[in-house]
Amino acid sequence: MGLAEKVATGDRRAAARLISMIEDGDESVRTELADLHCRGGRAHIVGVTGSPGAGKSTLIHKLALEWRRRGRTVGIIAVDPSSPFTGGALLGDRIRMQELSTDRGVFIRSMSSRGNPGGVAKATADAVRVLDALGMDKVIVETVGAGQSEVAVMDVVHTVLVVVVPGLGDDIQAIKAGILEIGDLFVINKADRDGVEAAQRELEMMLELSSEKGPWTPPIVKTVARTGDGIPELVGKIDEHWEMIRREGLLEESERQRCRREVLELLKHKAVLSLLSEYGPDEFDALIHDVARRKLHPHDAVERIMGDKKRKN
Ligand SMILES: Nc1nc2c(ncn2[C@@H]2O[C@H](COP(=O)(O)OP(=O)(O)OP(=O)(O)O)[C@@H](O)[C@H]2O)c(=O)[nH]1
Ligand SMILES: [Mg+2]
């Protein structure tokens, strides 16, 4: 039995192995992944993003507990682009997640982009496929909402939660840099702290400015992840978003958009590799050198690489 087939029967060890191979950028999983892709498409994929220390992991832990109470199975992928791979969850997360770790209705995994040339978004999309095929009803993906690659990770999910904390200032700035647009729900976590009302007003204002009126108005939910305050309400809103997507017939369109982005990303990646395959690193460096010395415009450098490729073909 192939790994994909095993995953589909609920084999957790097979799932863990497949994810490790994905993480390593192992090309031999391609057929397994194709198999998984055809079997999948059932899970609701939820992305959780926000600045470092906003309480994302704590929140996800509580979300998972609440969904379990409601009879749902939950997969969790913590994407950790900076820290080296440790073979499982980071220590803090591991302790926090212990409560869930004996529950067979939960599958937790951390991932790093190290070793995967296609980048973290591609690896995450494939890991999501594994947990989807494993039969998880909800698959939660955690990333730090800082850079381009984290925003790209959020491209693979159905519902995006943006977590902010009171006393924002900086946080709001971070949100402005592209994350506001992708948020389907906004969470003010650490609502036990001062400044919750101010944070809420500021968020409301920004959402008002940016919103296009569609079938969904992103709600703002206040939580204290540490104690679990606000978690049932948040779960309710997340499930509502999922229901809305399906009710409004948006799921198909959302799938198409996600697939289009994924195919384009893969194509870009492959195209660059293919174009550069006959270009030695020295040759490439020489070209860059000419651009840096202002002998050549970057555009002309690209034309040259593409021209050389055609000639060689
Ligand atoms: N006061 C308060 N502290 C919280 C709350 N939620 C989480 N924390 C604390 O905030 C700290 C960071 O929590 P994490 O859940 O690790 O935050 P994170 O966003 O996952 O952090 P990174 O993954 O490192 O970006 C921990 O010490 C938590 O106990 C909350 O609602 N109130
Ligand atoms: Mg975390």
- CATH no. for residue 26? 3.40.50.300
Are 40 and 95 in a shared domain? yes
Query: How many A from CA of 280 to the centre of ligand 2?
Result: 40
Are 177 and 294 in a shared domain? no
**242 Cβ contact list (under 8 Å, min separation 6):** 44, 158, 159
Mean pLDDT of 208-229: 87
pTM of the model: 0.85
Are 131 and 173 in a shared domain? yes
Per residue in 73-130, pLDDT tens? 999 998 864 444 343 444 455 555 566 667 889 998 888 755 555 567 788 889 999 9
Query: How many A from CA of 225 to the centre of ligand 2?
Result: 12
Q: Is the CB of 53 under 6 A from ligand 1?
A: yes
Are 224 and 113 in a shared domain? yes
Q: Is the CB of 232 under 6 A from ligand 1?
A: no
Q: By residue range, what is the domain housing residue 98?
A: 3-249
Are 243 and 287 in a shared domain? no
In a domain, 265, yes or no: no
Closest residue to atom 1 of ligand 1, CA basis: 190
Domain end point (choices 249, 268, 303): 249
Are 187 and 239 in a shared domain? yes
Residue 84, pLDDT score: 41
In a domain, 55, yes or no: yes
In a domain, 238, yes or no: yes
Q: Is the CB of 8 under 6 A from ligand 1?
A: no
Q: Is the CB of 156 under 6 A from ligand 1?
A: no
Domain end point (choices 203, 229, 249): 249
Q: Is the CB of 145 under 6 A from ligand 1?
A: no
Residue 139, pLDDT score: 97
Residue 155, pLDDT score: 76
**Total domain count for the chain?**
2
Distance between CA 122 and CA 129 in Å, rounded?
A: 11
Query: How many A from CA of 93 to the centre of ligand 2?
Result: 7
- Residue 92 Cα: closest atom of ligand 1: 16
Are 134 and 282 in a shared domain? no
Q: Is the CB of 280 under 6 A from ligand 1?
A: no
Query: Higher pLDDT residue, 116 or 256?
Result: 256
In a domain, 257, yes or no: no
Residue 248, pLDDT score: 86
Are 217 and 285 in a shared domain? no
Q: Name the residue among 243, 176, 195 with its Cα closest to residue 215.
A: 243
Residue 124, pLDDT score: 87
φ, ψ (nearest 5 deg) of residue 89: -70, 155
In a domain, 149, yes or no: yes
Distance between CA 258 and CA 152 in Å, rounded?
A: 10
- Residue 93 Cα: closest atom of ligand 1: 16
Query: How many A from CA of 83 to the centre of ligand 1?
Result: 17
Distance between CA 13 and CA 244 in Å, rounded?
A: 34
Q: CB count, 10 Å around CB of 284?
A: 13
Above pLDDT 90, what percent of the chain? Answer: 42
Residue 92, pLDDT score: 53
Q: CB count, 10 Å around CB of 252?
A: 10
Residue 120, pLDDT score: 74
Are 287 and 156 in a shared domain? no
Are 174 and 288 in a shared domain? no
Closest residue to atom 3 of ligand 1, CA basis: 190
In a domain, 270, yes or no: no
In a domain, 261, yes or no: no
In a domain, 259, yes or no: no
Are 189 and 294 in a shared domain? no
Are 291 and 178 in a shared domain? no
